[in-house]
Structure 1
Amino acid sequence: MKKAILITLAVVMSVVLVFSITLLMISQDPMKDAEKETTAIAKETAGLVTVSDFYWYNRSETYFSVFGLNETDEEIMVIVAKDGGKTIILNQDEFITEQEAKELTREDKGSVDILEARIGLEGELPIWEISYKEENGRLGYYVLTAKSGEWVSDIENI
């Protein structure tokens, strides 16, 4: 009797494990597809050769961005609008880095737990959106201009 219960339990756990892994893989497909498509657009429009980072920004509009080197070894970022495919090519040297954006957020917000950074556009303005968790467990979004790191907005206590 114990042997039958153990075998049944092992089968059930195996099915749950296979289902969980399959679900995880399926949930990652849209991200992988977006990165692949954005990279292809960046290679075609900006001469991108290597990709170092990919970002998915989603606020008023959705943007996908890739960072990397172009054919002349310049560090560029290419921002592509999800709707319409509008593409903007920017030189990374003219903008603050993800790390700098996170540090500016920490300096202004104090002891928050930085969760993620995304680059996108608000209108024509390239911005960094930093998501964070406050000490009280609530979430927030801190938005900085990507060019100078100036504060744009802060959404707190979500």
Structure 2
Amino acid sequence: MMQFKDDIRIRHRPKQTHVHWARFWFIIAGVGILLGALVLGYFYVSLSPMRNDEVRLQRFVKKETNIATVQQISVDHRQKTTYAITGTTVSGQQKVAIVNSKMNQVKTYNRDNGLTDKQLRQLILTNYKPKKIYSANISEYKQTLVWEVSYKGQNNTLNYVTLDFKTGKSYRVINGL
């Protein structure tokens, strides 16, 4: 009889732990979703001051000028912060409004008096031969409306050029940053 009990003990294996891969992947996916939500929440909160400024700028420009629809807002931090707002009036005329950082002064200009986007692009391609144009924004420089253009030069350096809004005449050029 003893032999029989010994055989049972020999054949009896301890219970193996089984890894549930579905549970493992579910936990990994949950952690990924949680991290993604935290990152998106961080960006939402960190960009809220910029969104608030844009809303305030749009309200101010619509109240102080005849611009009815805002299409683009750009900011310039050269010596003092100024905003350039491009938009259209109710009659469809293109306008540019330059607003100071305190939002208590605004100057408006007719967008049609300046170079078109196509003319500006052609001027930059012809005169500066960039590998890539990064940005072209309207701004104010020494009480004059200008284009602020940043581009990658042939030697792969960052370059800036300030051009007259109407004529495209160069006011300043910064090469090789």
TM-score grouping bracket, smaller chain normalisation = 0.7 to 0.9
Q: How many residues align?
A: 158
- For 2:39 and 2:29, the matched residues in 1 are separated by 15
Aligned with 1:28 (options 43, 47, 57): 47
Task: Output one character per residue of 1:53-107: Cα deviation in whole Å (capped at 9) or x when no partner.
Answer: 2222222222112222224432211110113532111111111234433332222
- What is the CA RMSD across the aligned residues, in angstroms? 2.2
Higher strand share: 1
**Deviation (angstroms), 1:128:** 0.9
In the alignment, is the contact (CA less than 8 A) between 1:35 and 1:54 conserved in 2? yes
Identical residues among aligned pairs (%): 21
Superposition map of 1:7-156 within 5 A? 7-83=26-102, 85-156=104-175
Higher relative contact order (CA closer than 8 Å, sequence separation 6+): 1
Measure the CA separation in 2 of the matches of 1:102 and 1:28.
Answer: 30
Q: Which has the larger radius of gyration?
A: 2
Runs of at least 5 residues in structure 2 that lack an aligned partner in the other structure: 1-18
Name stretches of at least 5 consecutive residues in structure 1 with no aligned partner: none
TM-score, normalising length: structure 1: 0.84
Per mean C-alpha deviation after superposition, the further-off stretch among 80-89 and 141-150 is: 80-89
